[in-house]
Amino acid sequence: MKSPKTITLAKSIFALVTALSVTAFGADTAYNGGKATNPKDLKGKKVVLADVPKLVGIGYFNATAKGIADACAEMTKNGIPTDVSTDAPTEGDIQKQIEFIDNAVSRGVDGIFFAANDPVAISPVLRKALGAGIHVVGYDAESQPDAREWFVQMCTPDAVAKADIDCLVAEIGKKADFAIVTSSLTAAGQNAWIAEIKKYIASAYPDLHLVTILPAEEDQQKAFQVTGQIIKAYPNVKGIIGLSSVAFPGAADAITQAGLIGKIAVVGQSTPNQMKPFIKNGAVKSDVLWNPVDLGYAAAYVMRAVIDGKLKPGDTEVECGKLGKLKIINGSQVLLGPPTVFTKDNIDQFDF
């Protein structure tokens, strides 16, 4: 018979192993976001929010800002006063974006939305906001997870990668060279898509060859220029993927101006309004995107749910107004849904 001390020791060891197991296999798949320090109790009260996207003045972030503003107006109309302003640099400059966020912290806003130009560089100022009791919600482009509470994910990176490659293969076939024009080499969202693109072609299309990846730094003219460089440096390229709302039209314009419509396919991510001219002239057949107005709208409802205590770690879904209940994935990401493919058959139905 075991002594009481032996039994007690065994129970203690079992409890420790159980605790370690939960830490190793449970906590990392549960909530992984940060937490605002001693935030004000603003449940149902008026709040003032700041939206700081990568930059202002381009169609994509005009659309996300509209979504946030629409949701805030809707909540205000329904008796939950929610004010928001959007302000950011006019170029994709992370240091300038940090300054805008720092200014919002100094103003003492109740919540900050962001779309990061650089996931690492932006994180300290977001942690500063959390430390000041300000709620932080990201969309479109991530920070480090502990620097924000929740992130609204447009769609999963593997879904974007699969849609881009399948659309490209439909035009250039399963054996060809292609290139990528991305936003910046530090953009978390685009880097996740690129990683999934590489993984997907390795398993599904091993004869597709990615020859180069060049950044356009959220500048459509630079995207035009680097696409020209790709054409000269890689004369066998049959396809180009433009992985941002300005990289895609810049690449499509370069193909158009070079007289290569029908010879080099271009697919990617941008707003329907930016891509309509290129879909109508035949340079582009597929535009893979989500609705950025809905993305901003969802972010606003997520922010309000956090402020009102309706969204907490461990939840599996969140109510987002007209979008209904959105699923929570990876512990602290709210999933908008699968991407939409805009073509000549449906693109005129959308205006953003």
Q: Tens-digit pLDDT profile for the chain (352 aa)? A: 444 444 443 433 333 333 333 333 233 458 999 999 999 999 999 999 999 999 999 999 999 999 999 999 999 999 999 999 999 999 999 999 999 999 999 999 999 999 999 999 999 999 999 999 999 999 999 999 999 999 999 999 999 999 999 999 999 999 999 999 999 898 888 999 999 999 999 999 999 999 999 999 989 999 999 999 999 999 999 999 999 999 999 999 999 999 999 999 999 999 999 999 999 999 999 999 999 999 999 999 999 999 999 999 999 999 999 999 999 999 999 999 988 899 999 999 988 8
Domain count of the chain? 2
How far, in Å, CA of 338 to CA of 232, rounded?
Answer: 35
DSSP designation for 87: -
The whole-model pTM stands at 0.81
Residues 125 and 231 in one domain: no
Residues 119 and 169 in one domain: no
Q: Is residue 2 part of a domain?
A: no
Where do the H-state alpha helices sit in the chain? 4-25, 59-77, 94-107, 123-131, 157-172, 188-204, 220-233, 247-257, 272-280, 292-307
Q: Is residue 350 part of a domain?
A: no
Residues 184 and 209 in one domain: yes
**Per-residue pLDDT at 29:** 52
**Per-residue pLDDT at 82:** 98
Residues 284 and 321 in one domain: no
Residue-range definition of the domain harbouring residue 53: 47-154+292-337
Best CA proximity match to 321, nearest among 339, 304, 308, 338? 304
